[in-house]
Amino acid sequence: MTVTPNASKPKAPTPKLLLASASPRRLQLLAQAGIEPDGLLPASLDETPLKNELPRSLAKRLARAKAEAALAVAAKDPSMAGAYLLAADTVVAVGRRILPKAEFEDEAADCLLLLSGRSHHVYTAIALATPKGTIRVRLVETKVRFKRLSRAEADAYLKSGEWRGKAGGYAIQGLAGGFVVKLVGSYTGVVGLPLFETMTMLEGEGFPTRKGWIDPA
């Protein structure tokens, strides 16, 4: 009798992950977790809050809208079929007041004046579109307290230009990290992508988050 060795089963292909953002910060955070997206599909949306819209509602709405917009693009490309798609949006607020993603120095100055010496909230929503066709959204809330800023500190920060394009007019991972007296919640959520919640969501939907740890190639 001839014995035929058991043929090894072919490895299932690793599913793709697409990031609906071109944010260097979100890319860096995913890299920190050992994940490299297979593509970027940033969505260009009107991020103006709706009338009486709460900060948490805005973050969730925009994260879902970014995921949906990226899905529409991915649907036209067969190479992206069956991919996971991750989107996120960060909103900074003092009470119900939503602070802008500062593009002009006077906007950033107003943000610093408002944040100085008080607590504010950072809401980051993540939206994950799965190969099953579902979109899951999760909101992460973090409370941050700033020191009372001197005029010299505020002016120097404005001159640095680091605030440009940042929600609330500051980047906690940069110079403004020295303004933070206390943080309760997710530091990576304030940066732009809460890693614990993102990894938990991906794992829950079957994405192999730790494959890059074992097999970097």
Domain ranges of the chain: 17-214
Specify the CATH architecture of the domain 17-214.
Alpha-Beta Complex (3.90)
Q: Identify whether the C-beta of residue 47 lies closer than 8 Å to the C-beta of residue 62.
A: yes
pLDDT for the residue numbered 133: 86
Annotated active-site residue 89? The verdict is: yes
d(CA 7, CA 186): 47
Alpha carbon of 201 to those of 45, 111, 139: distances in Å?
Answer: 24, 32, 12
Q: What is the block-wise mean pLDDT of the chain (217 residues), using blocks of 10 residues?
A: 52 83 93 93 90 96 96 90 94 96 95 97 97 94 98 97 95 96 97 97 93 69
Q: Which of 46, 77, 89, 155 does the annotation list as catalytic?
A: 89
